[in-house]
Structure 1
């Protein structure tokens, strides 16, 4: 499977396959292990991952307040990859600072996701790559603000 596929169902199936392999104690690829870790951190999505057919067909409408769990988990994966590679430069330190201030790396990711989503939205709207400088500026301001609390 290709994590960068444009096929929504193929992407969603990766979550099911990784979770089933994890539950069965089967060997996981590094990507599957990352996916399984994100799913494990979100017990509210475990029931969803019990019914592949229903979840594959399900639509999520943000305008009615629905959160797409696959998008949410994908944002975690993106952030974890950024932190592990420290790209953009400095994101690992920001994550560490926020995790320390909040006492929870997952909560740090949840706050950081807002900035990632905004950077991606602007990039898509403008037809340009994400502006890493603005993204990191927002994250640094967030870390500074939360460090003062």
Structure 2
């Protein structure tokens, strides 16, 4: 199983961004990433500066979004939906997107659920609880 480093992730996003901006052919995963990058113009300066992105790895600032983490979560949720894992996530995200009128807005809510699941997993020293994650996404998709 491939586990990219933080630098690998930044190189991937910055590289895909550069290729997309230059109109160069993109691999399918790069195309998906580039589509999410286009929805986040606030990240374009950082995505356009690989050297700065690599330097900033040591400068974690909890007061600001990490564009690479944010975009990685978009990709993770997209992949979860494409393979429907955990089973039912595709339908739950589609329902939430319909309810919010935007897949992008739905992804941002799902990110909160995904982040909570991962944080709780780390705190408890256990595997991530996919059932609790799915239940939270479903709750948001059906709540009044």
Could you tell me which residue of structure 2 aligns to residue 123 of structure 1? 121
Does residue 16 of structure 2 align to residue 21 of structure 1? no
Kindly indicate whether residue 68 of structure 2 is the aligned counterpart of residue 60 of structure 1.
Answer: no
Q: Distance in 2 between matches of 1:22 and 1:80?
A: 19
Q: Work out the CA distance in 1 between the residues paired with 2:95 and 2:135.
A: 14
Name the Cα RMSD after superposition: 1.5
TM-score, structure 2 normalization? 0.92
Residue deviations 1:8-45 (CA, integer Å, cap 9, x gap): 11210100111111112211112111211111111111
Q: Is the 8 A contact 1:112 1:139 kept in 2?
A: yes
Higher relative contact order (CA 8 A, sep 6+): 2
What's the counterpart of residue 34 of structure 2? 36
1:104 matched to which residue of 2? 102
Question: Do 1:3 and 1:11's aligned partners in 2 also have CA atoms closer than 8 Å?
Answer: no
Determine if contact 1:60/1:67 at 8 Å carries over to the other structure: no
- Tell me if structure 2 keeps the 8 A contact 1:83–1:92: yes
Alignment length, in residue pairs?
142
Q: 1:3 offset after TM fit, Å?
A: 6.7
| Bigger shift: residues 108-117 or 90-99 | 90-99
* Counterpart position of 2:79: 81
Gaps of 5+ in 2: none
Q: What is the rounded CA distance, in whole Å, between the counterparts of 2:8 and 2:131 in structure 1?
A: 32
5+ long unaligned stretches in structure 1: none
Alpha-carbon distance between aligned partners in 1 of 2:115 and 2:141, rounded to the nearest angstrom? 17
Contact 2:17 2:48 in 1 (8 A): no
2:142 to 128, 141, 144: 144
